[in-house]
Amino acid sequence: MPPTPHDPLRVGDKVVHPHNRELGPGIVEAIDRRRLAVHFPRTGDTLQFAAQGHPFLPLTLPEGADPECWYEDYGGDIVECLARRDTDRLDAFAPRLRALELLHARESGGLGSFLGGRIEIFPHQLHVAERAAAGDPVRWLLSDEVGLGKTVEACLVLNHLLRTDRAEHALIVAPSALVVQWLGELYRKFHQVFVLMDDHRRRDVVKEQGASFNPFEVHRLSIVALEDLVRDSSLARLAAASKPDLLVVDEAHHLRRREGTPGTPAYRAVAPIAQAARHALLLSATPLEADAQGFFRLLQLLRPDDYPSWEEFRDALDHGRPLAPCTSATRRVDIGGFPPRVPCPIEVAPLASRELTDREDPRLIALAREARDWVRRDEKSLVFVRNRDALTLLKRELEFHLSRRVAVFHEDLSPARRDLEVAHFADPKGPPILIATECGGEGRNFQFARRLVLFDLPWNPVLVEQRIGRLDRINRRAPVEIVYFRPADGFEASVARLYERLRIFEEPLGGLDRALGHVEEAIRNTADKRGAELDLDAMVEETDRLRGRVHQAAYHHLHAGAYEPTMAPGILERIPSDLEKRTERVVLEACRQFGFHTDPKPDPATWYIEFGDRATVETLHGVTTGHRWLGTFNRAEAVRREGVDFFAAGHTLVEAILREAVDSARGRTVLLSIPGTGFAGTGVIAIRRDQGRLMLYARDLNGKDCPHWGDFIRALPAGTHDVPAAAWNIDDWEARARTALREMALPGPPDALVGVTFTG
């Protein structure tokens, strides 16, 4: 069998690059410890490559090749291997064929290319991701309602662009409270390893590479906090100078620019990066109906040519002209709604002050009493408090009354510690209660919790909505219990009554956060005036007017190609039903061929796989001897059990095996005999990936195209067997095979070639 990639090379070796065969054959000109130089005579280029893990295949030249013009005589090493009967066994070819079929299923124009993540499948998310990724460049505003999974949609698009080689350099910008969550979501759900571009990482780049290196070019998959870009303008300039292939901005409504101003610091930091990036995704839950100018500014960042001025945009809205196809604004009603919010007020005595100051606080006494029942029923509860002092007191008192550890989430914890506290809380055997300050109210997901406890009521209704939104999310199955305290009288009682009348505890605000400043302002102004009372009627009337506009969806019809509930069945039907089974078959077949240890475990659909010392391959791309995995090929199991690997697109093992299967020399050529077809014939079949499609070209040795032969190669029916070279007694085989392949006029080099004889 010919050598596989990554074998040592020597100066003078003739080679071919398996991924860039258009370069033609090359010759190794120089090698040192880190780099090798390869000259490609056809193009005249000499290119540098890493010496370790190089992808080159040794070049096999036909007999009698001209030593001076050897590269002109090269017709493709795989062609010569087949012609000279330098072929493999069926058990090497079959895994290659199955791997090519799997790549076709998941990378073709269908939905397979979006299905690698450890996520529950929702049709509206696939619809949005597919529409966004269809454009080139991808410049899209994700503005679905809160809780519908904008982050997942962004990750679907990002993952698709990276896996289909449309992007290599991606930068994610998010509020500092969310950067670690993004890192975790990308790794746990989509097998993507990004680095956090914090001060520590940037110092490492300077130390290892030198001060002249751009850290965003050194780490081409990175996440940076929006606050860091604002604080350090040189960092923002470096991000723009790196010209990322893809920019993703979470909570993009922070990017504000009023007419005639340069914009907020956040806007000024991000705008140049958005202009420099080829692809860009902006995430914001603020609907067009609630803040048309803010929406316009985001569209202008994405598509400046389509949105030159606010006046033109306003005129377009007034006359009902559709938006350019670069937005998605799915609503809860479009997917059938969510489980209801259930208000659970607890009557308490009047509060002495807003602050919680001692263990005699009536809210604390009531909470400790209720929490005993919640813990006894094994239910998770998320408690929000205003500040650290209240959090510390609550934690101490609840742990005393419950004799259980209580998890915490606050701004003084490191990002890693916050992530750990959330993970412990999510564990069914972990703490039953997590207490969070306001920093846990944006971006974090706690939909597994049974209830939300609002220990205090913020004077900003948007903060209340953010807190509730941590539980009221798309993959929730049960109603959300919203526990709050209703004092008998006093100013806090008025705030509670206001929020009840605003129906915040019953239905979402629908992205009205930018339009409810009047409520917070009125509450604060009234609180500063001793004896003053809130004008509940006026605030409720104004809020209802704004909410009514959003509910009417005055501009919703202007979003081109918006998701509709009737689309769901058609989208689900397009999902390859056997994708998980195909992946399992390909991976396990290849693992056994490579000598890996594979062992099914008693847990449902779980496998133990080990790259041990008995393996027949020394290395796989990104994997070395000694690696072991416990995982599943089943999506439902992977979603249910985040502690095991999900063997799907993007997983290290899956990608390494597919790369080895289709890029190595193993199984590239085979001679097959196929009985039981009802006809006889001999010829060649070429298999080639072409822009996501798997194409099979068949031609007999008499020059006739035989497209139906491909069906038998795909099926490999019973009785199919490989034929040893010595037994392949076909008259003038070499010349006739070369002629047949040449007359196919393939658009590029094949991924596999088959010499086939049908025996009737």
pLDDT single digits (tens) 361-416: 999 999 999 999 999 999 999 999 988 999 999 999 999 999 999 999 998 888 77
Secondary structure, 3-state, 128-196: HHHHHHHCCCCEEEECCCCCCCHHHHHHHHHHHHHHCCCCCCEEEEECHHHHHHHHHHHHHHHCCCCEE
pLDDT, residue 65, reads: 65
pLDDT of residue 661 exceeding 60, the answer is yes
In order of 143, 196, 205, 350, 554, the CA distances from 212 in angstroms are 38, 20, 10, 62, 52
Q: What is the pLDDT of residues 684-701, one digit of tens each?
A: 999 998 876 889 999 999
Dig out the tokens for 443 from the structure. 């971006």
Higher pLDDT, 547 or 581: 581
* Out of 255-259, 481-485, 546-550, 566-570, least confident range: 546-550
- Greatest alpha-carbon pair distance for the chain in Å reads 107
Across 272-278, average pLDDT: 97
Question: What's the DSSP call for residue 559?
Answer: S
pLDDT of residue 88 exceeding 80, the answer is yes
- Residues 6 or more apart from 6 whose CB is under 8 A from it? 53, 54, 55, 618, 619
Higher pLDDT, 415 or 595: 595
Across 515-530, average pLDDT: 80
pLDDT, residue 1, reads: 35
pLDDT, residue 220, reads: 93
* Out of 16-25, 117-126, 207-216, 326-335, least confident range: 16-25
- First-to-final CA distance of the chain: 30
Cross-strand pairs, 407: 434
pLDDT of residue 549 exceeding 80, the answer is no
Cross-strand pairs, 309: none
Q: Please choose, from the candidates 498, 490, 489, the residue with its C-alpha nearest in 3D space to the C-alpha of residue 530.
A: 490
The Cα 298–Cα 283 span in angstroms is 10
In order of 68, 79, 354, 580, 713, the CA distances from 693 in angstroms are 38, 21, 64, 19, 16
- What does the radius of gyration of the chain's CA atoms come to, in whole angstroms? 31
pLDDT of residue 486 exceeding 90, the answer is yes
Q: What is the pLDDT of residues 118-143, one digit of tens each?
A: 999 999 999 999 999 999 999 999 99
pLDDT of residue 427 exceeding 80, the answer is yes
pLDDT of residue 3 exceeding 50, the answer is no
pLDDT classification of 350: cutoffs 50, 70, 90: confident
For 502, how many CA atoms within 13 A lie in the half-sphere containing its CB?
29
pLDDT of residue 620 exceeding 70, the answer is yes
* Out of 332-346, 509-523, 702-716, least confident range: 509-523
Strands 628-632 and 680-690: unpaired
Other Cβ atoms closer than 10 A to 339:
13
Torsions phi, psi for 528 (to 5 deg):
-80, -10
Q: What's the whole-model pTM score?
A: 0.77
pLDDT above 90 coverage of the chain, percent? 52
* Out of 211-225, 408-422, 506-520, least confident range: 506-520
pLDDT, residue 475, reads: 80
Dig out the tokens for 412 from the structure. 């003084």
pLDDT classification of 4: cutoffs 50, 70, 90: very low
The Cα 251–Cα 244 span in angstroms is 19
pLDDT, residue 461, reads: 87
The Cα 552–Cα 573 span in angstroms is 32
Across 711-723, average pLDDT: 93
- Residues 6 or more apart from 441 whose CB is under 8 A from it? 384, 463, 466, 467, 470
Question: What SS3 class is residue 382?
Answer: strand
pLDDT of residue 6 exceeding 70, the answer is no
pLDDT, residue 417, reads: 85
pLDDT, residue 18, reads: 57
Cα pseudo-dihedral 540, 542, 544, 547, rounded to 10: -130
pLDDT of residue 75 exceeding 70, the answer is no
Cross-strand pairs, 646: 632
| Mean per-residue pLDDT over the chain, rounded | 88
Q: Please choose, from the candidates 84, 47, 61, 73, the residue with its C-alpha nearest in 3D space to the C-alpha of residue 13.
A: 61
pLDDT of residue 513 exceeding 90, the answer is no
pLDDT of residue 760 exceeding 60, the answer is yes
pLDDT, residue 5, reads: 44
Q: What is the pLDDT of residues 10-58, one digit of tens each?
A: 898 888 775 565 577 889 999 987 888 999 887 888 988 888 777 777 7
- Residues 6 or more apart from 737 whose CB is under 8 A from it? 82, 83, 684, 701, 755
pLDDT of residue 72 exceeding 80, the answer is no
Across 232-245, average pLDDT: 96
- Residues 6 or more apart from 75 whose CB is under 8 A from it? 62, 738, 742
Q: What is the DSSP string of 694-750?
A: EEEEEEETTS-B-TTHHHHHHH--TT-EE--GGG---TTHHHHHHHHHHHH--SS--
179-193, 236-250, 634-648, 677-691: which has the highest mean pLDDT? 236-250
Q: How deeply is 757 buried, as exposed, middle or buried, from its count of CB atoms within 10 A (0-12, 13-18, 19+)?
A: middle
pLDDT classification of 554: cutoffs 50, 70, 90: confident
Other Cβ atoms closer than 10 A to 285:
24
pLDDT classification of 155: cutoffs 50, 70, 90: very high
The sign of the torsion formed by the CA atoms of 202, 203, 208, 210 equals positive
In order of 287, 552, 678, the CA distances from 559 in angstroms are 11, 14, 56
Question: What SS3 class is residue 269?
Answer: helix
Judge whether 546 and 290 are in contact, CB under 8 Å. yes
pLDDT of residue 278 exceeding 60, the answer is yes
pLDDT of residue 442 exceeding 70, the answer is no
Q: What is the pLDDT of residues 248-258, one digit of tens each?
A: 999 998 899 98
pLDDT of residue 494 exceeding 60, the answer is yes
Higher pLDDT, 276 or 661: 276
